[in-house]
Structure 1
Amino acid sequence: MLSESSSGRAVLVVGGTGFIGSAVVRELLRPSCGGPAMTDVRVLARRPLPEWMMSAGARRIPGDLTAPGSLRGCGDGVDTVLHLASYVGRDAALADAVNAAGTRALVGSARTARFLYVSTASVYGHGPHRGVREGRLAPAPASAASASRLLAEDAVRAHGGVVLRPNLVYGPGDRWYVPLFLRLLHAVPVWSEGGRARTSVVGVRELASVVAAFARRDWAGADRGAVYHVNHPRPVTVRSAATRLCRGLGVPVPGTDLPRAAHWELASRLLPQLSPHQHALLTDDHYYDSTRVWDRLGLAPGPGFGAGLAASLSWYREHLAIPRAA
């Protein structure tokens, strides 16, 4: 277990206004079982911070990962950099500029700071992946975005930093996992292989608690260059996740079944923007041994997807265009 450190250490949050970043900033600025509130939280941002963030005590540091010159001095006086920014689209040049080159520039601008980078289990590439532990599977990214995030990992680990690899993240602010899952369920309202595939998921607040715990505590030598999977230790089946989601949001639950290949053939026609990798993430086994990080930090991973989704449904109802049956 990591030892507690001073709450007065300066923390720079990169990507602090995004989905995961906002949750991390909230976690840092309030006392929790992981430690006291941090008193010097800085957020690297191109635009002004939200009012709640400034009122809670966060301070904006102007900067842009795609403009390396803007990063000079951003790490002055900073103890820990929490790098939570990433580009996940299909523009390879932008992925390289933000994820790879941007991270290298960031590391170069804060050489004396500790680094933690939130990456993704997608760096492992195509599955199926079943109960994989850290260090047991070589990364083989299947997209330009994932490849560039692996390069970002390399820069952080070479600096002695920590890399976190969540799989699918849900909760308030989610614009990827649940929205994409809903579009697939609406376009193709049938199960793939009975929905038996299992997947690792983590609530955004639980992920934020892990990031904040690393920021608050002293690191052990074993953490230098370490990679941790960060998911709830208990994977969820696609059928269970989809059923809870559909019932919670008033969407019809799939009723029939197709073999995976036939499901993909149908999905690729009815939802042409869906990539093969995205389809696999939502229909094939992608679960990872994620016990090590919770043991390392002495944190509880929370009750799991059912309770976490139930607590997030009001946000999804308010912010998503929920597809309805014709």
Structure 2
Amino acid sequence: MNILVAGGTGFIGTALVEELLDRDHDVTVLARDPDGADLPSGVERVRGDVTAYDSIEAAFEGQDAVVNLVALSPLFKPTGATSHTDVHLGGTQNVVEAAESHDVRKIVQMSALGADPSGPTEYIRTKGQAERVVEDSDLAYTIVRPSVVFGEGGEFVSFTKQLTTPYVTALPGGGRTRFQPIWVGDLAPMLAECVDENRDGETYELGGPEVLTLADVTRLVYRAEGKSVTVLSIPMALAKVGMTAAEPVPVVPFGRDQYRSLNFDNTVADNDIGSFGVEESELTTLASYLGVE
């Protein structure tokens, strides 16, 4: 099968590309700077920006399926002039239009837990709006909503370290926000199966083997470095003031949306990993990945 992976040079994309190659697919990677990426041999590279339709349209010719992974981070505020709306909504509209124009049969859309067109953050809202674009298209589709994804090259551990300090650290609400982190090496095969198998019209919510609070994650991250940490609590109202005030400061990676995201959990109600023949006990824990289990 000929598969186009939009965002294939990213953290999740590179893992998925290797998985698709192992399954004997012909893979084309679409990215803003594909030439500098560390990709396996045999992968075709195409330069394009999903926010600019004319730069990506030709890449869809002859493709059987497209996987749309292009996204901005939910953990850090966007830098530069590009917004979540530009990338998630506008980018998905362009990907869908190009796919329909070139008779691509299917799209696998990477979304996010809690995606909702009326959600509390721009990230969540635009992910929900992008889902609507996919659902209203003429394409067969599968939507995947993972919790936070960790692994080599991922942001989750570095985000935690930027938000905290070793030994003694203060976290909004004491770090009670809950996550269900999933390892990229476990997620990639599930994404590949969404391409391989007839899962048209399905939406899957995927989480890892355990639920961890931000305080739990902080302790694990520093334990992996041989350091202890005591977590102190910052009242949420005070955290709101601080992160809102930091919004216009370029060197501060957090803002109002990051505060809002700490007010709701990033966990699944029902883990759909079972749909892929996987049990939670088979998945890699964050502690195991960090070498502290």
Is TM > 0.5 for Structure 1 vs Structure 2? yes
CA displacement 1:170-217 (0-9 Å, x = unmatched): 111113x22222122129703555544432221122222211121222
Distance 1:269 1:250 in 2: 34
> Residue 212 in 1 paired to residue 188 in 2?
no
Tell whether the 8 Å contact from 1:10 to 1:41 is kept in structure 2 after alignment: yes
Q: Does the CA-based 8 Å contact 2:51-2:94 persist in structure 1?
A: no
Structure 2 CA distance for partners of 1:276 and 1:38, relative to 1, 3 Å: same
Offset of residue 141 of structure 1: 2.7
Question: Residues 126-205 of structure 1: matches in 2 within 5 Å?
Answer: 139-159=117-137, 160-175=140-155, 177-186=156-165, 189-190=169-170, 192-205=172-185
Q: Deviations over 1:272-291 (max 9, x none)?
A: 64224424545753322242
- How far apart, in 2, do the equivalents of 1:118 and 1:257 lie? 34
Are the aligned partners of 1:236 and 1:305 in contact in 2 as well (CA < 8 Å)? no
1:42 aligns with 2:34: no
User: What is the root-mean-square deviation in Å for CA atoms of aligned residues?
Assistant: 3.1
1:20 aligned counterpart, secondary structure: helix
Equivalence for 1:71? 56
The whole-number CA distance in structure 2 between the counterparts of 1:154 and 1:92 is 24
Q: 1:244 aligns with which of 220, 235, 238?
A: 220
1:295 maps to 274
The superposition leaves residues 189-247 of structure 1 with CA deviations (integer Å, 9 ceiling, x where unpaired) of 0355554443222112222221112122233xxx31x3221211531233322111111
| CA distance in 1: counterparts of 2:82 and 2:39, whole angstroms | 32
CA distance in 1, matches of 2:93, 2:231: 48
Task: Note if contact 2:243-2:256 (Cα within 8 Å) is conserved in structure 1.
Answer: no
Cα offset, 1:16, TM superposition: 0.3
Q: Which of 278, 281, 294 does residue 258 from structure 2 map onto?
A: 278
CA–CA distance in 1 between the matches of 2:39 and 2:234?
Answer: 47
Query: What code does the residue aligned with 1:203 have?
Result: W
Matching residue within 293, 305, 309 for 2:286:
305
Separation in structure 2 between the aligned mates of residue 148 and residue 27 of structure 1, nearest angstrom:
28
TM-score, scaled to structure 2: 0.80
Separation in 2, partners of 1:20, 1:208: 7
Q: CA deviation at 1:264?
A: 5.2
C-alpha separation in 1, matches of 2:123 and 2:179: 21
Give me the whole-angstrom Cα distance separating, in 2, the residues matched to 1:231 and 1:306. 15
Tell me: CA distance 1:215–1:50, structure 2 relative to 1, closer, same or farther (3 Å).
farther
1:84 paired with 2:73, answer no
Residue 116 (structure 1) aligned with residue 101 (structure 2): no
- The percentage of counterpart residues that share the same residue type is 27
User: 1:116 touches 1:156 (CA, 8 Å); kept in 2?
Assistant: no
Paired with 2:208 and 2:224, the residues of 1 have a C-alpha distance of 21
**Preserved CA contact (<8 Å) 2:9 2:34:** no
CA contact (8 A) 2:18 2:40 kept: no
Secondary structure at 1:43 match in 2: strand
Higher-RCO chain (CA-CA 8 Å, sequence separation at least 6): 1
Q: Which residue of 2 aligns with 1:322?
A: none
2:207 is aligned, of 201, 211, 231, to 231
For residue 182 of structure 1, what is the amino acid of its counterpart?
K
| C-alpha deviation, 1:46, in angstroms | 3.4
Structure 2: distance between partners of 1:48 and 1:151: 27
Q: Using the alignment, how far apart are the partners of 1:257 and 1:144 within structure 2?
A: 26
| TM-score normalised per structure 1 | 0.73
The code of the aligned residue for 2:97 comes to G
For residue 73 of structure 1, report the CA deviation from its aligned partner.
Answer: 3.3
Deviation at 1:255, TM superposition (A): 4.5
Q: 1:58 aligns with which of 34, 37, 43?
A: 43
In the TM superposition, 1:248-259 aligns within 5 A as 248-259=224-235
Amino acid at match of 2:19: E
Contact persistence 2:186–2:284 (CA under 8 A): no
Q: Is this contact kept in 2: 1:68–1:105, CA < 8 A?
A: yes
Q: Is the 8 A contact 2:49 2:55 kept in 1?
A: yes
Counterpart residue type for residue 154 of structure 1: R
SS in 1 for 2:161: helix
